[in-house]
Amino acid sequence: MEDLTDPKVLEKLADEHGTPLFIIDMEKIRQNYYLFERLFPRVQVYYAVKSNSDPGIVKTLFNLGSRFDVASLAEFNLVYEHIKDYTLEEQKAYIWDKIIYANTIKRVDTLHILNKYEPLVTYDNAEELKKIKAHCPDAGVVLRVKVPDTGSMVPLSSKFGAHPGEAVDLILAAAELGLTVEGLSFHVGSQCVNNENFVQALQICHELFEEADSRGIDSLRLLDIGGGFPVEYTPEVHPIEQLAEIINSELDRLFPAETAIIAEPGRFISATAGIVVTKILGKAVREGKTCYYLDDGIYHTFSGVIFDHQNYVLKSIKQGEPKICAVFGPTCDSLDTISLAENLPEELELEDYLYAENIGSYSHASSTWFNGFPPATVLRVNE
């Protein structure tokens, strides 16, 4: 088994496979999946494919029995690839039970394709309900509710979620169209470091369950508590065990045992499984600061600096006294700036390697071919 904590192992892999190299530790994927299952015994894992859609991760989690949260037809097809040889009835049973299409806004052509499988899909507005009724009438629907997301690294409530005050009316609107609302969902925002967001969200959903029941709606049997489970990128992030204790207590207090509880962890499963190794292409001194230019950058594996509001710690395989340096990607765009204040040795030379850990989520998945530079090569280890 490859020990990816050893810089010499990373150097060896980069020498063998070239750079930029995006390494996925499949053993870490398995460990994180099992840890989530252990910490949240009432909760069924639906891996958020968008966090890292590498087919090897999907295959590994499929074999472990994970379920999946997909947000596009392409993501759906990554999972479907593993059930394509099932009969249609077997496919329908799998898709209903193990996939949730959790994007509240869906393309019409996607709904047409999905309808024969009678999928489970989310919505958060009346127009989407009409679209689902017209193009995917055999779907079961889940209402996504707006909840607090204060303190989350990537807030989501400004874009998604029905206001709690209109939630039950939207459930009734679905019933009037002949659609069955199976339950409620929420998302407290990605990398949620404010445990109170989960507490408030669970209380809101409990109250909506009760209001729906008082208005004659007895179909709600599912609660999707979304994602947001934090990764300990820094020591300040509270341990997941602390959050698990709070969530488990609230679930037992507010929701009966027969309520199906699902979650959509993505970052939690894939973030710590990714390492990128990159090579120094250029070096300059500007206004007294050493500047390194790498063969990976913001348009590639380090896209999370922009899209995920994440700062990755770059480390050097070659040792030396650290100084404040600037680090840039390879493209001809000034936006392609990884860091203006990175602690790295000034003595590094062209062709030397740098690496960043905990970069498995919302990184390589957003890579482009800007300026013609290809994304990093993906290497799966410890399969």
Q: Token pair for residue 29?
A: 């994927």
| CA-based nearest residue to 46, from 26, 71, 23 | 71
Residues in the chain: 383
Residues with active-site annotation:
332
Under 8 Å CB-to-CB from 257, ≥6 apart: which residues?
none
Q: Residues 129, 132, 135, 139: what is their CA dihedral angle, to the nearest 10 degrees? A: -140
CA–CA dist 226, 265 (Å, integer):
7
Is residue 95 left, alpha or beta, with left meaning phi > 0 and alpha meaning psi from -120 to 50?
alpha
CA–CA dist 116, 110 (Å, integer):
11
Instruction: Determine contact, residues 74/103, Cβ cutoff 8 Å.
Output: no
